Amino acid sequence: MPELPDVETVVRMLRRRIVGGRIGRIRVLDRSVVRSPVPAVFARRVQGRVIQAVHRRGKYLLIDLEGASTIVGHLRMTGDFAVVPRREPIRPHTRLVVGLDGTDLRFIDQRRFGHVDLVATHALEAFPALQRLGVEPLGPAFTQDRFRAILRGRRGSLKGLLLRQDLIAGIGNLYADEILFQARLRPARQVDSLRPVEARHLYHAMRNALRRGVAALSRRRTAVGDLFEARARGGACPRCRRPLTSATIAGRTTYFCPRCQR
């Protein structure tokens, strides 16, 4: 499933390609992709609007339109947005086509789990999916003090903590494992067992791993991470060369080094 770096990469691409464009024709090729309002009303309300900004909240992609409306999109497992010439043939699994000035913004999703909603911009904070999100881990509000406050009195595994979207928004299974590998902490380690120096390492590992992911994906659409690159090369720890271990932690398949992570 796309995580913060993946969505941020799409946001940056769309920011370059579609901001300032005026929406023309709308083709809803799969009605299930438009959750609210109904597809016909969605098309009528966005048609003719100028795209003013593109940004992100957690794993959600936000497209602000003139007239104080915002398209809220979630890629889910296999969704993606592409900007292509209007004459380009419609690819398989294309669910939504938004016509712009000579180009199309197309939402492509093989598994059909992705979706969009149209929300009044002033009501975004009350939109249920966004209302539940925690702090942005790459934003200025996510300070070490804020992270310490999140940890205070918390129980459960570190892996489970990183996956809590209501605490820290945007981290999924892949980057949670990478962050804990960089911090040299076991995914099953209990939150309340962290020493202050370990909490600092985890904070910096979180920001470094996500920034590194965004930079790599923005350059060449290929994720970078020591742990998942090691898995692709056969599953040996890049530090000690011992085999990586997998286990189910916080309900997710989890990879770690039993020697390097404590």
Which residue numbers are catalytic?
Answer: 2-3, 59, 252
Residue 211 CB neighbour total at 10 angstroms: 14
The SS3 assignment for 169 reads: coil
Q: Two tokens at 150?
A: 């999140």
> Rounded distance, CA 136 to CA 207, Å?
10
The size of the chain, in residues, is 262
Q: Two tokens at 245?
A: 């271990």
Only one residue has tokens 């940056």, namely 12
Give the residue among 55, 93, 90, 94 at the shortest CA–CA distance from 71.
Answer: 55
